[in-house]
Every structure is written in structure tokens, then in C-alpha cells.
Structure 1
Amino acid sequence: MNTFGKIFRLTSFGESHGRGIGGIIDGCPAGLDLDIDLIQKDLARRKPGQSKITTQRKEADQVEFLSGVFEGKTQGTPIAFAIWNKDQHSKDYNDLKDVYRPSHADYTYTKKYGTRDHRGGGRSSARETIARVVAGAIAKQILASRGISIQAFVSQVGEIQLKKSYTEIDLSKTDDNIVRCPDPETAEKMITRIEAAAKDRDTVGGVITGVAKGVPAGWGEPVFNKLHADLGFAMLGINAVKGFEYGSGFEGTKLSGSQHNDVFIKTSDGVRTKTNNSGGIQGGISNGEDVYFRVAFKPIATLLKEQKTVDKSNNEITINPKGRHDPCVLPRAVPIVEAMAAMVLADHFLLSKLNTI
């Protein structure tokens, strides 16, 4: 299952310490003027070594397109691309070759496949998400041509939470700081929290909020491919994600139905809702309001401190891993969340064209 999507499809390949990461995008409409700089900008937002609170692995993450693009336009044919790895320190993982690291995929991969690439986690590494960011950046351009924008931001790090709604803040300021929280005061507290975790050779988790504006009413399916279900599937497939909610989410369970219902109102723009507890989706189909959701990320499992575990021979051992790792995944995960949301929405846009004559 290395392919995501129904019409707009990405098949990714590659490992963290292999020659590179890449993908093949099928189903992208022909004639799209592809802005490579925008793709590279999102890759730069995801790449390692970008700030003092991220891993110091140094990768340019320069995308190379191998097919499907000619004279700056998509051709409607498969788009193949690659990003070559340059700064692998595979020797850092030699001591972990036969070890099952706590809360990693080492044990489960071995049980499933009978073998595994121990260098940086191999295929299970979050470095695979580079391919998703490339495909998502292209999907963003498809959506932007129809007036749809997607913005994600860090809304919680550990116990530090942005209390304001996304409607109360300027989302354009998201990239003004290294933690990618659009509220400067909260951002400083988040950065301090991440630095404290790093100093303790530990990690910290949190939440990313995503907002899609301009999504028209009518996208999504009423039964098995509900728009929110596909968004949840996409987000839960991102490394370290432990939860997904949209609209009022779990907080909505505290309200009565009369408080929670989004009343329809007549406006000069047509039918709208007075509130948006539904998160822009009703009955699995978009209703024209903002689509917003939250994604919970666990603390990264790789700790640069001693932990007890077992090896493949079931011997109890103590490990003290080496390497370069993020104390918090959230700042680099913002473009990944945007990318996955963009691929889902681009797919549903293309699916919507099949539902009418």
C-alpha cells in the first residue's frame, strides 16, 4: 500500500538512508502551469536542519522531475520525481541493527516482512514524507487555480496551547517564527518548551490545526468516502500521528444538539451556516464553509538517552542511541499536513467532476 488517492494518486518510494526518496503522480490534469519554486518552498519548510529546534541533518531536498512536465506544464502523463539523499550517517545506527527500539516500527516491520532496513528506520522513516510534500504542493496549485487555499499551523506543543480560534488570528504569520505558530507570544512559549525537551535529551508532542478555505459545497461522498473520513485517513497515515478530529471534534460532545446545530441562513452569497461546528462538512460532503481540523502528534519515539528494550534474540538490553533527531516533529510536519489535505481535496475535486453530466 504505497499508493495514495483515487484519481490524483501518489506512489512513493525510497528509504531514509537509501539513495533517495521519490514518487510517481498519476491523474494530474494536463495544462497546469507548474511553479517549481512553490514546490521547493514547501520542501524547505519540511527539510531538516532549518532551525535550532529541528534535527541538524543537512539536506538540500532539491526535487528533480524525470517525466510528466514539459516547458513548465503538466502533460497529463505520470509525473516522476526524485529527491536524492546527501547527508546520511548510517553508521549511527549500526548498534541498533538487531535491536527493537521502544515505540518504533522495528519489531512490527520484522514480524511483517522478516527483514528490515535498520538505517534510520528505512521505509518507516518520516523522510518518506518528502514525496507527499511534492505531490501535495502540486495538488495545492490545482486547488489554488480554483480559489482554494490550505494553511496549517502549530496550535499546541506539550501543555502549551494556542487558546484562540483560527478565525481570530492572522494565518499569514504562521511562518514568521521557527515553530510555525501564528501567535508570536504563544510561539515563544512553544520554542522554550521544545528547547527544554532537547536539553533533557527528550521529545515533546502536540497538535497541528489545518484550515482549507474556498472549498465549494458538494465535494465528498455520502457513504464510504466521506470527505472527513478521507481527511482522517490521510492524516492518520502521517508518521507520529495519534489522533484526528474535525469541526467541533471531541469538544462538541459537551454541547446539546440545539447548541451544536449549524443553522442555515440566507446571504447575498447564497446559503451559508451561522456557525461552523460541522467543520465545513455535513453528511460526508462539503457545505461551502471553511474545512478545519486538528491532528495530534505523539512525542517522537527516538530519545537520545538510555532506554531499556530487547533485541531480536529476546535479550533484555539498554540502548543509548546516537544520531540527529528532532525534539519535536511539529514545525516540520506543518507542510506535510497541508500536503495530505491538498491531495485529498484535489482528489475530491476530480471525483466531483464524475458525478454530474
Structure 2
Amino acid sequence: RDHRGGGRSSARESVARVAGGAVAAMLLREFGICVQSGVVGVGTFVSNLKEKEFDFEFAKKSEIFCLDPKLESDFKNEILNARNSKDSVGAAVFTKVSGMLIGLGEVLYDKLDSKLAHALMGINAVKAVEIGEGINASKMRGSCNN
């Protein structure tokens, strides 16, 4: 395997995903669906903001799409330190979808959640996907999570 990141994870695949995403974003807007994303963690630095406190307007202007203005410089430094060490660093991305119909998709084998997780896990760098409360749901009672 080429250590320089060629092959399936090359820019040729990325450009197709970006172009498809741009078309999908236009289509979703037509249906009043808004998708917003941003970085909430880089390496050991993780935002402790609540979801409603994330600053999506700041993220639009941020070079690294950071949702927590107080941590942007820490995130950047962590990325630069990894780069200077000829290494990489993990990150966490938060995505919010609003205007989406509840219950969209099939009940069992064609759920929207499973299709989303499947698509995200197809990106080589993605190693985990949480939907809703994610792993925290295992600590909750159904009456609080459903």
C-alpha cells in the first residue's frame, strides 16, 4: 500500500464526493433541509460546549471549520504539531440536520441512519459514527432516549 495516500483515497475519489455533496446540498435546500457541520475535537482537545452552543456562523469563517471559537487555536496547533512531526491527528466532526422528516426510510433494512453510517464509514479516515446520543444511549433509559 502506498504510504503517500494514493489509490482509492486519492483526490480523484474526493472530487466525486465533493461534487455529489454540492448537488445534494442544493437539492436538500429545495426541500427545506439544512445540513451543518464543524469540528468539535482535534487530538486530545475536545469542545465541552453543548450542541445548542456550537457556533455554526463562526465555523463558516474558520479555516478549519471549528465550532468552538475558544478552541480554534488549540485545534490548529495540534494539527501543525502533527504535521511538523510528519504525523497525523484524529478529529471529531459534529453534523446537525434540521428540517428532515422523522422516520424517513424503511423500518429495518433501509434505515436512513444505517445508510448514513455506511456512507461515512466508506471514507478511509472515518473510524466511528454516532447518531443521536450515540454510545451515551447505552447509559440511558428508553423513556429518556426514545
Same fold (TM over 0.5): yes
- Could you tell me which of 49, 61, 84 is aligned with 1:176? 61
Q: Which structure 1 residue ranges, 5 or more long, are not aligned?
A: 1-99, 105-118, 262-357
Structure 1 or 2, whichever has the larger Rg, is: 1
> Superposition pairs for residues 296-315 of structure 1, below 5 Å?
none
Which AA in structure 2 matches 1:192? N
Structure-1 residue corresponding to 2:132: 247
Aligned ranges for residues 88-107 of structure 1 at < 5 Å? Answer: 100=1
Partners in 2 of 1:159 and 1:127 — Cα distance? 31
Q: C-alpha distance in 2, partners of 1:124/1:184?
A: 30
Residue 256 (structure 1) aligns with: 141
- Are the equivalent residues in 1 in contact too, given 2:79–2:88 (CA < 8 A)? yes
Alpha-carbon separation, structure 2, partners of 1:179 and 1:172:
13
Residue-pair matches, total:
146
In the TM superposition, 1:1-357 aligns within 5 A as 100=1, 121-261=6-146
Q: 2:55, 2:69 within 8 Å by CA — same for their partners in 1? A: no
Report the CA distance between 1:218 and its aligned residue: 4.1
SS of the equivalent of 2:130 reads: strand
Higher normalized helix content (fraction of residues): 2
Q: C-alpha deviations, 1:32-56, integer Å up to 9, x for none?
A: xxxxxxxxxxxxxxxxxxxxxxxxx
SS at match of 1:131: helix
SS in 2 for 1:195: helix
CA distance in 2, matches of 1:120, 1:186: 28
195 and 214 in structure 1: CA distance in 2 versus 1, 3 angstrom threshold:
same
Cα distance in 2, alignment partners of residues 208 and 169 from structure 1: 12
Give structure 2 stretches of 5+ with no counterpart.
none
**More strand, by proportion:** 1
Deviation of residue 245 (structure 1)?
Answer: 1.1
| Equivalent position SS for 2:128 | strand
RMSD: 1.8
Residue pair 2:41, 2:91 contacting (<8 A) in 1 also: yes
Cα distance, 1:258 vs structure 2: 3.5
Q: Is the 8 A contact 2:34 2:97 kept in 1?
A: yes
Aligned-residue offset at 1:120: 5.0
> For residue 219 of structure 1, what is the amino acid of its counterpart?
L
Which shows bigger deviation, 236-245 or 123-132?
Answer: 123-132
What is the aligned-residue identity percentage?
Answer: 38
